[in-house]
Amino acid sequence: MRYTLINLSLLFFIMLFSSSGKAGIKAGEAAPDFELFDQYNKPHKLSDYNGKWVVLYFYPKDDTPGCTTEACNFRDDIFRIRKLNAEVLGVSVDNTESHAKFSGKHGLPFPLLSDGDAKVARSYDALWSLGPIKVAKRHTFIINPEGKIAKFYRDVNPENHSSEIIRVLETLQK
């Protein structure tokens, strides 16, 4: 029993400190391009959205409480977001089949992109990994119509994040 508690404590310590560190992305620089498939197996490239604002949000796992709250809030606010010439793209390391179930269950009207090899999450410094375990961190990037990072969030509250994004988009566009 004691050995198990020590192992759990060590795992917690590693998880806590492996997710911290210097962020590789900076506001004002070009957002890393990508090509990922959505819940309908349709490819999406960041460059497809040139001329629009993009809300690129990374999330840990389909159909978990925080991820569901965040996705459903984006769903509920999608018309306000699109009125601001912005599109929402969700990204996790889950596969397209998982995304299809999650999207269908909650009526999500935006692409959920599958980053199975975690390369895109890594390029945005939005990946937590410990050996073979890989999970996207809950980070969001607002990308301007020229493809540059306008703002990013490393600390996201799923309850109010969508309304926060709307306020920031309104401010950035003034």
pLDDT tens for residues 101-132?
A: 999 999 999 999 999 999 999 999 999 988 88
Considering its fold, how many domains does the chain have in total? 1
Q: 14 lies in a domain?
A: no
Provide the CATH number for the domain around residue 124: 3.40.30.10
Distance CA 83, CA 166 (A): 10
Q: In sequence order, what DSSP letters do the residues of 50-87 get, joined into one string?
A: TTSEEEEEE-S-TTSHHHHHHHHHHHHTHHHHHHTTEE
- Pairing of β 86-92 and β 112-114: parallel
User: At residue 148, what is the residue type?
Assistant: K
The whole-angstrom separation of Cα 63 and Cα 162 is 17
**7 within domain boundaries:** no
**23 has pLDDT over 90:** no
Catalytic one of 46, 55, 67, 108 = 67
Q: Is residue 128 part of a domain?
A: yes
User: Is 67 a catalytic site residue?
Assistant: yes
Q: What type of residue sits at position 41?
A: N
| 17 lies in some domain | no
Least confident residue range of 1-10, 31-40, 84-93, 138-147: 1-10
Distance in angstroms between the alpha carbons of the first and the last residue of the chain: 59
Q: Is a pLDDT exceeding 70 seen at residue 20?
A: no
Residue 143 lies in a domain: yes
Is the residue at 3 inside a domain? no
* Residue 155 maps to a domain: yes
| Separation between Cα atoms, residue 171 and residue 50, nearest integer Å | 20
- What is the C-alpha radius of gyration for the chain, rounded to an integer number of angstroms? 16
Per-residue pLDDT tens for 145-168?
999 999 999 989 999 999 999 999
Confidence of residue 80 (pLDDT cuts 50, 70, 90): very high
Residues spanned by the domain of 101 = 24-172
